[in-house]
Homo-oligomer: A and B are copies of this chain.
Amino acid sequence: MSDTTLPNQYEVHPHTKVVRGPKRATYDRELVHGIIDDALICHVGTVVNGRPAMIPTAHWRVGERIYIHGASKNRILAAIAEGEEACLCITHLDGLVMARSAFHHSANYRSVLIYGKGEVVEGEEGKMEHSRLFIEKLEPGRWDKIRQPNKQELKGTMFLGFDLDQVSAKVRAGDPVDDDEDYDWPVWAGVLPSTLQWGAPVDDARIKEGFEGQGYLRD
């Protein structure tokens, strides 16, 4: 997916300049791609009738675009399709940072924030291709094994793409950072690490005979 003609960094726009905690900010293209691709869900915000609205939803990336999908009638997707700006946020919680002072408690995380207008994927062919890309993200090779979407299903589904242009990321990792005078405070300090962990696949109660135990163990 990497395009060697692109700069290594996303351009810093007035709207994507990280003001709070600028030392944690990064615009590194490869790092942003990694944060997006490691995640299965994002939160999508927009403005509906002047009010903030949000949904969690699955996403996938193709080069310099991120895609989401949902019911065509979903009011948030419909608002974006009609031209409302959106804001997509992807967050990995990597741990809790337990400092010596209350103030310096924090989280280790990797997050990406994307602003932009969405573009509707038009036509059956494009929708079919994005159905495939979504399924292949869930399990590489699965598309050829499943029952692919029919016309009616494609018609009822909206796919929206967003350019990766107004993009920023924030990353915090490692130890707490306390004030110098607090390092002797008599308390444990460190990190409580967290990861999204995948368990053993669970067969559907109506699994087709002969397919038991064939689930795909992620990672």
Contacts and interface: CB of A to CB of B under 8 A. Distances in A.
A203 to B, nearest CB: 5
Interface of A: 15, 19-20, 40-41, 43, 45-47, 50-56, 58, 70-71, 73-75, 84-87, 89, 91, 93, 95-96, 98-103, 105, 107, 109, 111, 113, 115, 131-132, 134-135, 138-139, 142-143, 145-150, 153, 157, 175-176, 182-208, 211, 214-218
Contact of A93 (B15, B41, B51, B185): B41
A54 B146 contact: no
Contact of A85 (B51, B99, B153): B51
Given A73-B20, A186-B145, A192-B216, A105 B201 contact: no
A87 B199 contact: no
A86 B52 contact: yes
14 contacts: A41-B109, A43-B56, A58-B107, A93-B196, A99-B146, A101-B146, A101-B149, A102-B131, A102-B134, A102-B153, A147-B185, A183-B206, A191-B204, A196-B196
